[in-house]
Amino acid sequence: MKTIQFREAIAQAMSEEMRRDKTIYLMGEEVAEYNGAYKASKGMLDEFGDKRVIDTPISEAGFSGIGVGSTMTGNRPIIEYMTFNFALVGIDQIINNAAKIRQMSGGQFNCPIVFRGPTASAGQLAATHSQAFESWYANCPGLKVIVPSNPYDAKGLLKSAIRDDDPVIFMESEQMYGDKGEVPDGEYTLPIGVADIKRSGDDVTLVSFGKILKEGIKAANELEKEGIKVELIDLRTIRPLDYQTIFESVKKTNRLVILEESWPFGNISTEITYQVQNHVFDFLDAPIEKINTADTPAPYSPVLLAEWLPNFKDVIKAVRKVMYIAK
């Protein structure tokens, strides 16, 4: 095992796959000459050249469409957005073309493409640069959605995403690129659609994903001091979602808290809540609690932003609530 940064895990995954398959290329804003806006493609231009690591204009609709079209001629593109907030400019290409090519062509064309970049908030970036769109993309049939929380998962899942024959939305975070973690020295991939139990516990199930999972880890550590054992599940993949792992955990703990950095209406937490009450309702000893951002655009003020975002204290409060502990 070796310790690397999250950005290095992304770069390694892309580079290893591009060495393995010459039909793979990377395209996006500042991915080549600048080594990536967050240095997640550092050194790739030197190794693969400007035909396979391609800088684009600020034209998300244009280069997204080029990427989708190139899959129909045998390529496997990786499209990088500087942030998924900017992907809104190209979302028509993702939803109406990439996600539908296989069905609309009667199975004649696959669309092996990865759309990747950071999602959600990253400090004082204000309303238009702090949005989490996982649930938007997960709502669309034909797309797979992956949101890793650490370098090990990022590398293994990105390699699987690049090899997948369907379009994959791969969401990262500006605030995770410097995070360090261990990854194997050799080749490995991780299966899409399989959650990871980060820690086992018998008292309450806590489900989360992406960078906000860190707040769940903090909360679990604090609650352990009180004798409360949290089972922490990292979804890793949003679509397809590993419901079975959640169901089995709830059968054991009889309580569920969901932590998600997203607006509260119609999000991933909402879907999980429905599926749990539909399949394992009789195992619940308390109503499900979900923790999201405030139902407003993200504020610029650091004081307001701290109130807007969920944190570990919110998780502790929710866990105590489902356990009927008055504090």
Q: Catalytic residue numbers?
A: 60, 129
For tokens 């922490």, name the residue: 232
171 strand-pairing partners = 117
Sheet holding 237-239, edge to edge: 53-55, 24-28, 76-80, 114-118, 168-172, 144-146, 237-239
For tokens 């496997």, name the residue: 76
SS3 202: coil
CA 86, 87, 92, 94: dihedral to nearest 10 degrees?
170
- Please count the residues of the chain: 327
CB 255 within 8 A of CB 289: no
Contacts of 174 by beta carbon, 8 Å cutoff, 6+ apart: 38, 83, 118, 122, 123
Contacts of 25 by beta carbon, 8 Å cutoff, 6+ apart: 18, 48, 51, 52, 53, 54, 75, 76, 77, 78
CB 191 within 8 A of CB 239: no
CA 296, 300, 304, 306: dihedral to nearest 10 degrees?
100
CA distance 236 to 40: 20
CB 143 within 8 A of CB 167: yes
